[in-house]
Structure 1
Amino acid sequence: MGRFTLVVFGVVTLLATPFMRYGAHTAHCANPTASTSLCVVYPTLALWYWPVALVAGYAAISLYALRRSRAIGVSTRIAGYVAAGVLVGLLGTAWAA
């Protein structure tokens, strides 16, 4: 199961490339002192992509884990892991926004 998880997160990361590269970029600049300037540039589309992609990735991994455990004949509780993944995605989005 470890390989499938890594493949899912690898695919999610690779699919983020167009959003990071070709999406609109927003800049926020501040002048902490008179002689320096601090600018933060972030891609706007990536802020929408990552929460959706992470939740979809966690859903795919949880479905795979359920199917795999049923095929083996073992019971698996994954609701806590899925809830934690969704919560991390939502908190990361709230922090970035």
Structure 2
Amino acid sequence: MSAGEMTFVRRAGEWVVAEVSNQSTGYCPDVATWPAMADALDQLGLRHPDGLTQEAVFRRCPRCQERNIVREAQFVCVFCDADLPAEWNLHQAADPEPP
């Protein structure tokens, strides 16, 4: 449902999540996957931030199909300079057509 990086720290005798991001260049989850990540942490009984402390915005280039991390709200492919879509589109190219 989500993926990313987490930093754990020990506070008052318990482990807590201090920082959490959706930075995963293999899975490239949208920032909207935070609720799934928060739910998993809640089920484990881990205290955590109220949201992602670092957000990565991923897009697939429609021209060259490369994965990009959008930096400073510049939706331009770093590989071929094509415009990137405004909406998350990472798994659309690889997903099979519905029956």
TM-score range for the pair, normalised by the shorter chain length: under 0.3
Give the TM-score of the pair, scaled to structure 1: 0.27
Task: Determine which structure has greater relative contact order: mean sequence separation of CA pairs < 8 Å that are 6+ residues apart, divided by chain length.
Answer: 1
Greater Rg over alpha carbons, structure: 1
Higher strand share: 2
Higher helix share: 1
Give the TM-score of the pair, scaled to structure 2: 0.26
